[in-house]
Amino acid sequence: AKSRGKENFEFFSTELLDGSIRKQEIAAALQQALLHGEFSVHYQPQVELSSGRIIGFEALLRWNSALGAVSPSEFIPIAEECGAIHSIGEWVLREACLQLKSWREQGRPDIRVSVNVSAKQFRDPEFAQKVERILVETKVPPKFVEIEITESLMLDIGAAAELLQELKAIGVNLAIDDFGTGYSSLNAVKNIQVDTLKIDKSLVDEVLGSDRSMAILTTIIELGRNLGAEVVVEGLETIDQVALMRQYEVIGQGYYFSRPLPADKATRVWDKYLEQ
């Protein structure tokens, strides 16, 4: 059972978790992780291919735990299962907004930061208010913040539709992550005004060798254009992939430009792009 303390960290019982000892260890360690300051946020640039400008950064959570470095692909699902995702998710958003605030105070050009939000966080009816509170607290204009959700979240729910409207009303941007990898891609963009479609690396990896994959990718780009949404192509690693994508008006993200980096290093990468 879960109860909420005044400090907004959560207690939970690991009995709820099925499976391995590793999973139980991670769940137990997650409980302490915020308190012990074990999390950090890395930032990966998003580059407008036509101009070569960095227009945003995606915030990606890192956990340097007592168990060693654990990847988000492993611990996020466990955090979702044990309920820790709520306090962790809120921490990531605040951290990303504080970073934005700091960049703005340094007089740097406008930039957008995208934050991943789990479907579980959308079950919290107060999620939109929490987002708003963090924006007010950090004095970040909502238009510089993007919330990334996966299309499976849109399947889930009638409640999410309301929450998405609330978020739109606050003025933050909405991105659909891993677009085209699920079963409900078109449904996901039918009723909600999304600002960004993010095309998953798995599709990008196929396009150089497959006409059919290329047809799907260009169709998603076209869909984005028709919906008035930006398209971000993820996981660009090679110059060939970048050269191919440059023919389209899209934003690129991937190791080709930069790995996700701690804020100070990401700022230096940004400086290099500004000098060009």
**Binding footprint of ligand C2E on the chain (CB under 6 A):** 44, 60-61, 71-73, 76, 89, 92, 116-118, 177-178, 201, 235-237, 254-255, 260
Smallest separation, CB 169 to ligand C2E (Å): 22
Q: Which residue among 177, 252, 269, 270 contacts Ca ion (CB under 5 A)?
A: 177
Whole-number Å distance between alpha carbons of 93 and 84: 14
The answer to whether 148 contacts Ca ion (rule: CB under 5 A) is yes
Q: Which residue among 44, 99, 116, 121 contacts Ca ion (CB under 5 A)?
A: 116
Contact 175, 232 (CB under 8 A): yes
Strand 68-70, strand 10-11: pairing: unpaired
Helices (H), the chain: 21-33, 72-82, 85-105, 127-138, 151-156, 159-170, 185-190, 201-207, 211-227, 239-245, 263-275
CB nearer to Ca ion: give 80 or 148.
148
Q: What is the DSSP string of 46-79?
A: EEETTTTEEEEEEEEEEEEETTEEE-HHHHHHHH
- Using CB distances below 5 to 8 A depending on partner kind, what does residue 235 bind out of ligand C2E, Ca ion, none? ligand C2E
Smallest separation, CB 42 to ligand C2E (Å): 7
Backbone angles phi, psi at 33, to 5 degrees: -60, -45
Smallest separation, CB 235 to ligand C2E (Å): 4
- Using CB distances below 5 to 8 A depending on partner kind, what does residue 77 bind out of Ca ion, ligand C2E, none? none
Smallest separation, CB 32 to ligand C2E (Å): 18
CA torsion angle for 232, 234, 239, 243 (degrees, to 10)? Answer: -30
Contact 97, 103 (CB under 8 A): no
Of 23-31, 109-117, 238-246, 261-269: span binding Ca ion (CB under 5 A)? 109-117
The answer to whether 151 contacts Ca ion (rule: CB under 5 A) is no
Smallest separation, CB 102 to ligand C2E (Å): 18
Burial 185-206 (b: 16+ CB within 10 A, else e): beebbeebebbbbbbbbebbbe
Of 90-98, 102-110, 142-150, 259-267: span binding Ca ion (CB under 5 A)? 142-150
Number of residues that bind Ca ion (CB under 5 A): 4
Whole-number Å distance between alpha carbons of 234 and 253: 5
CB nearer to ligand C2E: give 26 or 226.
26
CB nearer to ligand C2E: give 94 or 168.
94
Q: Which two structure tokens, joined as six digits, stand for 166?
A: 């609330």
Smallest separation, CB 75 to ligand C2E (Å): 9
- Summarize as ranges the residues that interact with Ca ion (CB under 5 A): 116, 148, 177-178
